[in-house]
Structure 1
Amino acid sequence: MAVRAGRSPRAGALSSAPALVVTLLLGVLLLLLPPSAPAAGATDGAQAGPEAVELVRFTGEGCPKCAEQSAWLAEQAPRFPGLVVVEHEVWADAQGRALFVRTGEELGFEASSVPTTVLGERVWIGWTDAIAEDLAAALDRAVAGRSVQPGVYGTPGAGTCSQEALACESGAGAVVDVPLLGEVDLGARSLLVSTLVIGFVDGVNPCSLWAISVLLTIVVRTASRRRVVAVGGTFLLVTAGMYALYMAGIYSALSVATHLAAVQAVVAVVAGVVGVVSVKDYVAFKRGISFTIPDAAKPGLYKRMRAAAGQDRLGPALLATAALGVAVSLLETPCTAGFPVLWTGLLQQAGVPAGEAAALFGAYMVPFLLDEIVVVAVAVGTMRALRLQEHHGQVLKLFAGITMLALAGVIVVAPDIMEKPLQALAVFAAASVLTGLVHVVATAVRRRRAVAPEATPVG
């Protein structure tokens, strides 16, 4: 691994007359010599070797995190043959600072924190264990001649250093114990709070609640708690698996996009459209464009539910329930389109790698399934199923729509807010308060219209 500061000077050309004479004589002698035999093991084509890769570092003099990264690169040098590290000091060097700012404008990151590392169009802000792991994987790809996905990984304040105090943020965040997954360390730029709240809001959508409540209404008639637990649990597992595939597909689609600004715009537009339609459903439920399970599809679902619950043996009943779960997941896709796009867009914006995204998805599913787990638990305990009324579905639509519109606005104006727990909670709290106000005002208006005497015609 070669290390150089800034641009290496060009080698000077020979300009003296004696040097020119010597060069000409050597050229004549080489022409007169017979061609040499190929070396053993040589082939007609050039031997493929490691790619020459340039890694650009923006650092500050005396920055401890920069020194840690330098030591890591020196230690890893044998692993990355052909790697050239170009370092620009930005605290004391005006030219380096100007280049830092230009690079930030070109690649879409805030040029304010060191160390910042650039490989092609991939940017790492700060230096943490997670960044080291991600950088190593990217260097492996680059040295092997494979493309490296563009994007910005990390944010100021996580594993970065301050010029004034030479103090560094460790980047270590809370370690969260996620059920079934164990401890997840998500760092100072944690999206955990946003993930949990988005998962909860996504989970209280009327489509999934309607499906599970109708299914349990049919199953509890068998008077078998064992069957209620088995059928309800199977339905939840299948729909969760379908949702995992759905979100993985969105994440993969966004991963191949090369322009983060375009991804951000698409995510905001999709969320905005879904949010507007959801709010419309509160005012004019199922009139016009509506992201709900179509009424025409419900007789078929009722038939599948009765078939699943009416099986004499539990095995066929569970297979029928699994098939029902797949069918319901496909039909309710419009109901759940907005939040998965929003959430995966936030992950891409923050440069979250696949491993951390998988852990966050596990955290997402806990609140996402919470309301349905409660519905199943109530059915098991009381042998009665909760039923979702239409006006409940309208309020849920309003809440989801306003929340989605708020998140779409945040993504456009200041996406970093969603990585800061208190600010993310403030966004959701504001959406909840606005939902309550709108519902209270709308309810008062509807009641006034219902009791108002009809106007007497004049004349």
Structure 2
Amino acid sequence: MKKIVTAVFFIFLGVLILSFPSFDGVKVFAQNEINPPKVEIIFFYSETCLHCQAEQKFLDTIQSKYPELEINRYLVSDSDSKKLLADLLAKHDAQMYAGLVPITFVGEDLILGFNNENDIGRRIEQSIERQLNDLNPPPEENNNKVSLPIIGKIDLTKYSLLVQAVILGFFDGFNVCSLGALVLILGLVLILRSRPKIILFGGLYILVTAIVYGVLIFLWYQLFYYLAPVLKIMNVFVGLLGIAGGIYFLRQFIKSRKSDIACDGKESKIVSKHSLKIQKAFQESGGIWGLIIGVFIFAAVITIVEFPCSAVIPVLFAGIMAHAKLSIAAYLLYLVIYLFFYMLDEIIVFLIAVFTMNIKLASGKVMTWLSLVEAIVLFGLGIYYLVSIF
């Protein structure tokens, strides 16, 4: 029962990942910020008309009130103005008003005459406000809301990059290859029964793994940064990647139900090869610096080799950071948070080894069910991104 509750809890956390905004929605918003829609007023007046003078003053007062308003004024006695007025009157089927002033065209509306700001002035403002509302329709119903039992509806878009960094890093951290490599290092050092050496070699492995993994995420970040203009293609790519990742972790879950989770394929051979080398280095005790270099290379190789096994999550995180257009300081902050939660399980194993001189791990069943949770989360991500392109 406890394991079921734990799995449900992780699934709930995984749902929060769907707070990623649609690339297209942000693109439209950015375009509106750069080129805000306008309502045009075309005002025809005569220099000798008192009503025209009153409307001139009224238009001056509302200009600052409506930044989206563009006011063009034409002296009706000019030949070019007469032609424009005739065309507009014909368009509105109002040729009978030719020769009368003031005449005001507010977007698609024609308003004849002017008396004061409370009567015709109010009609002009109502026309402006109505047409601005048409140009800036209220947002459609939020499709990022999901209904959860007991909790009810929640708006996924309100969750910050910080939450996404924590959740993605946490799920990404359950990597059997990397954790197994750390256990190997700690197991070899525990034979020496030296706490300082456990801290040195275990800490070095964790530090190198975090740095190399961070560099790999940064390279994906750079790729997404240059692909940012092709937003729909990015959505398709990330969506398909999510589906592929879901299939991969679902297969891992099915396989692990029959046998223990382990690295497989070419990655397993490479890991085994370098594991034998590092064991040999510890057995020969060729000097502290030789062991440090060996652990450094071992950690770097393991991190690079196992990266394709779980590339879906770090690639998604890199895409989110690139899309958010973060400052370098904010980018580094979120990356450090992600890496901390990515390494959290290994940090816990490391600290237990330091303080107890023993190695304790989660059961194989926990790792198995976490594979299923990851599959569910990644399927959800993939579907979300693919649907968002329509």
TM-score (norm 2): 0.56
Q: Which residue of 1 aligns with 2:350?
A: 376
Question: Does structure 2 conserve the Cα–Cα contact (< 8 Å) formed by 1:213 and 1:388?
Answer: no
Q: Which residue of 2 aligns with 1:177?
A: none
- Please, which of 329, 333, 336 is the counterpart of residue 362 of structure 1? 336
Q: Describe how 1:332-411 pairs up with structure 2 within 5 A.
A: 332-387=306-361, 390-411=364-385
State yes or no: 1:223 paired with 2:193: yes
Q: Which residue of 2 aligns with 1:299?
A: 272
Amino acid at match of 2:269: A
- Please, which of 241, 246, 267 is the counterpart of residue 275 of structure 1? 246
- Please, which of 257, 270, 282 is the counterpart of residue 309 of structure 1? 282
User: How far did 1:99 drift?
Assistant: 6.5
Q: Describe how 1:35-54 pairs up with structure 2 within 5 A.
A: none
- Please, which of 150, 159, 171 is the counterpart of residue 201 of structure 1? 171
Where in structure 2 are there 5+ consecutive unaligned residues? 1-32, 39-62, 69-126, 141-157
User: How far did 1:402 drift?
Assistant: 1.8
Amino acid at match of 2:236: A
User: How far did 1:406 drift?
Assistant: 2.2
User: How far did 1:261 drift?
Assistant: 1.3
Deviation string 1:243-289 (CA, Å, 9 cap, x unpaired) is 111101111111111211110110111121011111111112499xx
Provide the C-alpha distance between the structure 1 equivalents of 2:67 and 2:169, rounded to a whole number of angstroms.
35
Q: Describe how 1:47-446 pairs up with structure 2 within 5 A.
A: 56-58=34-36, 92=128, 190-257=160-227, 258-285=229-256, 292-294=263-265, 295-310=268-283, 311-387=285-361, 390-413=364-387
Q: Which residue of 2 aligns with 1:173?
A: none
Amino acid at match of 2:318: T
Deviation string 1:130-174 (CA, Å, 9 cap, x unpaired) is xxxxxxxxxxxxxxxxxxxxxxxxxxxxxxxxxxxxxxxxxxxxx
CA shift in 2, pair 1:57/1:314, >3 Å: same
User: Where has structure 1 moved over 4 Å in runs of 4 or more?
Assistant: 59-66, 93-101, 387-392
CA shift in 2, pair 1:324/1:271, >3 Å: same
Provide the C-alpha distance between the structure 2 equivalents of 1:323 and 1:214, rounded to a whole number of angstroms.
14
User: How far did 1:203 drift?
Assistant: 1.0
Amino acid at match of 2:339: M
User: How far did 1:335 drift?
Assistant: 2.2
Amino acid at match of 1:377: L
User: How far did 1:201 drift?
Assistant: 1.0
When structure 1 is superposed on structure 2, of 385-394 and 227-236 the one drifting more is 385-394
- State the secondary structure of the residue aligned to 1:58: coil
Provide the C-alpha distance between the structure 1 equivalents of 2:170 and 2:212, rounded to a whole number of angstroms.
17
- State the secondary structure of the residue aligned to 1:256: helix
CA shift in 2, pair 1:232/1:365, >3 Å: same
TM-score (norm 1): 0.49
Provide the C-alpha distance between the structure 1 equivalents of 2:225 and 2:313, rounded to a whole number of angstroms.
17
User: How far did 1:240 drift?
Assistant: 0.6
- State the secondary structure of the residue aligned to 1:265: helix
Question: Does structure 1 conserve the Cα–Cα contact (< 8 Å) formed by 2:271 and 2:302?
Answer: no
When structure 1 is superposed on structure 2, of 217-226 and 347-356 the one drifting more is 347-356
Provide the C-alpha distance between the structure 2 equivalents of 1:63 and 1:328, rounded to a whole number of angstroms.
63
CA shift in 2, pair 1:414/1:363, >3 Å: farther
User: How far did 1:413 drift?
Assistant: 4.4
Deviation string 1:216-235 (CA, Å, 9 cap, x unpaired) is 11221111111111001111
Amino acid at match of 1:195: A
Pick the structure with more helix per residue.
2
Provide the C-alpha distance between the structure 2 equivalents of 1:291 and 1:273, rounded to a whole number of angstroms.
19
- State the secondary structure of the residue aligned to 2:36: strand
CA shift in 2, pair 1:211/1:399, >3 Å: farther
User: How far did 1:396 drift?
Assistant: 3.0
Amino acid at match of 1:334: P
Question: Does structure 1 conserve the Cα–Cα contact (< 8 Å) formed by 2:220 and 2:315?
Answer: yes
Question: Does structure 1 conserve the Cα–Cα contact (< 8 Å) formed by 2:256 and 2:368?
Answer: yes
Higher relative contact order (CA 8 A, sep 6+): 2
Question: Does structure 2 conserve the Cα–Cα contact (< 8 Å) formed by 1:205 and 1:400?
Answer: no
Provide the C-alpha distance between the structure 2 equivalents of 1:372 and 1:299, rounded to a whole number of angstroms.
19
Provide the C-alpha distance between the structure 1 equivalents of 2:136 and 2:329, rounded to a whole number of angstroms.
29
User: How far did 1:200 drift?
Assistant: 0.9
CA shift in 2, pair 1:301/1:398, >3 Å: farther
CA shift in 2, pair 1:261/1:322, >3 Å: same
- State the secondary structure of the residue aligned to 1:332: helix
Question: Does structure 2 conserve the Cα–Cα contact (< 8 Å) formed by 1:308 and 1:321?
Answer: no
Where in structure 1 are there 5+ consecutive unaligned residues? 1-54, 67-90, 102-109, 113-187, 416-459
User: How far did 1:399 drift?
Assistant: 2.4
Provide the C-alpha distance between the structure 2 equivalents of 1:65 and 1:203, rounded to a whole number of angstroms.
50
Question: Does structure 2 conserve the Cα–Cα contact (< 8 Å) formed by 1:205 and 1:397?
Answer: no
C-alpha RMSD over aligned residues = 3.9
